[in-house]
Amino acid sequence: MRAQRGVLTMPQNGSTRQRITRAFPLWLVVLVFVLLCAIAVRAPSIAMPFFADDFVFLEQVRNRSFLAAISAPDQLGHYGRPIGRQVFFWLVAQLGGESPLAFHLANCLLFLASLTLLFALVRRKIGDAPALIAITFLAFHYAVDPLLQWASGSQDLLALLFSLVAIHLYCRNRRWLAAAALALALLSKEVAAATVFIAPAASRPPPNLATGVRKSLPMLAITAAWVLWRYLHGDHPPLHVAWIIPGVIHALQVVTGIEAGQGRPPATLWWVMTALVVVAASVVAWLTRTPSVAYPAPAPRAEPDPTWPLRVGAVWALAGTLVILPALDVWSAYYYVFALCGVALMLAGIIVLVITLPSLPRYRESFATPCSPWTWQSHVNGAYLARGTALVARYLVQLKDIYPRLPPKSTLFFSSVPTASGWQSGDGALMRWAYRDSSLRSYFLSDFTRGTAERGPFFVLSFKGDEIQDWSGAPLLLPGIAYALLRDDQPRGATDALDMALRAHPFDSRFQYWRAWTRWATGDTALAIADLTAVGMRLGRASPIRATPLSTAELVERRNAACLDPVVHVALATQWLSSAEGRQDGVIEAYAAHLLDPRSPMTSVLWARARSIETIEPRSAGYIE
């Protein structure tokens, strides 16, 4: 059947099971299962009556219009939570007629919406299975029970819901909408103040602190206005720095479900249900390795970062704990529900890194390249092998397209080989395997010598991006190799390349001048002086250069008259390096100045500048055109 717009048609070779899997991805099935179970295990809470503060809030909105209800003073005489108290109780009372069932159902909906938003946030950042683990931890946590058993739990639930909305909007660069959502959260309960720290952490990190503050200005302004409004209304919460210690201790109690004086740990059911859904999430991750067609996962803005839940979770948990310190003298586990969202992220992140769920890579997408025992990552891991094998396979196809066959005893020299690709091992085992010829050899271009190049035909290739470039047919290949090796401080290989080049061009004074300095660098000053005198140079020192600038021709004459004077080489190199036409000769002059006076800071800086002007890539004739 042909697919039509808006019509779901049966695949021609698909089964019913395939259609169901595509229409209803397993992560969605497990998500619904978790949400339903989270409410089912708390079914007795729905039948509970009003309690304590519930009656105060009901009385505050009873027989009043909406404006009258929200403008009436808080009867408890503390805090300013018009959204979590007056607005919520007025709306639900109007719809449900002051029925406890209506308030408990409303709280259940708020809780389910919060779990769904948390799932969406984590799923967008790092994947399905970690998101399922995170919401499972929170869904069955015993600290949530009072919020569903008590109608007044709407304050915490609304603060959590609007905070999650603000974080979502902030991550999507809707800064002012995020600030508006934060305002609603702050007017629900004070714990939402932690959002101003969590949202920037959950988003992509800014390049610097100033940029991060600028992007967060709307939220910071809303938070500052809220603090001022609270202060002007007489809300001066106590600040006890010493309470940080019990605050952290109680947080650990709540996270693990350990509270003294209880016959049975309240987290027993929570741990069991969490473990079951973690297993289910692992199965889902395996079964959904192929992305869903009907409900594809939202594409992340960047590559998934397995450290994101740990980094954001730590900020979330810490900020959520600090904001409740003023009320710690009457602490309860449900105070930490907001902070538990961060703990849920951290739990998911730890499982991702330690257990390595199948929905995420089994390795970090990076590896260590420096040769040092102090690296934080393995030098050889899954990422290294996956990248290396993929590169080698791709480059071998290109090499075979360039050279389907190679003559016996051929030698291949490679430059700009991708780091840690495994392309060049030993003296060419890969080439011998690929061409099934035991006489082949291959080396890095930096290992070029006359012995390796003259054993048979040789070829020079370089890597640029995803392509192999062949320079073997360049008319001035050997001088180009010598120039590249000279700039890479490989004077012996450069000398050998120039020896071979001068056989083909015996009267080329330019190449002989280059060889003089590569010989000097190897310590063979006698042959170096012989080359210099052969090209018409005279030894000695030149007279001091006058203050008025000399022309290039005048500097060349001074150099020819006193070729061992580094000052003349410095002046000539400085002039040539400033122009594209003379840049290559400027590199040679900077090299000569550095060899003649290696301890001089001036010559060292000049040589470093000369080497950095061009990419160190042997483009053969391109360097000496």
Residues 346 and 396 in one domain: no
Q: Are residues 434 and 582 in the same domain?
A: no
Select from 321, 350, 379 the last residue of a domain: 350
Which of 455, 473, 491 is the C-terminal boundary of a domain?
Answer: 473
Q: What is the DSSP letter of 545?
A: P
Q: By three-state DSSP, how is residue 522 classified?
A: helix
Q: Are strands 467-470 and 458-464 parallel, antiparallel or unpaired?
A: antiparallel
Same domain? 101 vs 235: yes
- What is the per-residue DSSP string for 484-518? HHHHTT-HHHHHHHHHHHHHHSTT-HHHHHHHHHH
Whether residue 74 lies inside any domain: the answer is yes
CA–CA distance, 137 with 152 (Å, rounded to integer): 23
Cβ-contact 452, 411 below 8 angstroms:
yes
Position 274 scores a pLDDT of 55
- Residue 183 CA to residue 134 CA, distance in Å, equals 26
Assess if residue 97 is contained within a domain. Answer: yes
Q: In this structure, are 308 and 399 located in the same domain?
A: no
For the purposes of burial, counting CB atoms within 10 Å of the CB of 620, is it exposed (0-12), middle (13-18) or buried (19 or more)?
buried
Residues facing residue 412 across a β-bridge: 442, 459
Same-domain status, 469 and 556: no
- Rg of the chain over CA atoms, in angstroms? 37
Same domain, 423 and 345: no
Shared domain for 145 and 268, answered yes or no, is yes
Nearest to 560 by CA among 586, 533, 578: 533
**Same domain for 284 and 418?**
no
Together in a domain, 327 and 398: no
Q: Assess if residue 232 is contained within a domain.
A: yes
Q: Which of 426, 441, 473 is the last residue of a domain?
A: 473
- Per-residue pLDDT tens over the stretch 156-206: 888 888 989 999 898 888 888 988 988 888 888 888 888 888 888 888 665
Residue 124 is predicted with a pLDDT of 83
Phi, psi angle pair for 148, to nearest 5° = -95, -20
Gap between the Cα atoms of 229 and 126, Å rounded: 38
**Alpha helix (H) ranges present in 413-465?**
429-435, 450-453
pTM summary value: 0.51
Q: Tell me if 478 sits within 8 A of 500, measured CB to CB.
A: yes
335 CB-near residues (< 8 Å, 6+ apart): 191, 324, 327
Residue type, 590: A
Domain extent for 127:
43-288+304-350
Q: Tell which residue, 187, 166, 186, has the closest CA to residue 177.
A: 166
Considering the domain architecture, whether residues 280 and 426 belong to the same structural domain is answered as: no
Joined tokens for residue 75: 């009867």
**227 found inside a domain:** yes
CB within 8 A of 450, min separation 6: which ones?
496, 499, 500
Low-confidence stretches of the chain (pLDDT < 50) are 1-23, 260-268, 288-302, 357-364, 372, 374-377, 615-625
Cβ–Cβ under 8 Å, residues 153 and 147: yes
Total domains, the chain: 3
| Phi and psi angles of residue 460, each rounded to the nearest 5 degrees, phi first | -120, 125
Residue 461's DSSP bridge partners are 414, 470
Please check whether residue 310 is in contact with residue 346, taking contact to mean a CB–CB distance below 8 angstroms: yes
Q: Does 447 fall in a domain?
A: yes
Quick check: is 8 in a domain?
Answer: no
SS3 label, residue 474? coil
SS3 96: helix
Claim to verify: residue 336 and residue 200 sit in the same structural domain = yes
Q: How many CB atoms lie within 10 A of CB 4?
A: 8
d(CA 559, CA 557): 5
Residue 494 forms part of a structural domain: no
573 with 467, same domain? no
What local confidence, expressed as pLDDT, does residue 514 receive? Answer: 92
Phi, psi of 324 (to 5 degrees): -95, 0
Q: Is residue 135 part of a domain?
A: yes
Tell me the one-letter amino acid at 118. L
pLDDT value at residue 582: 80
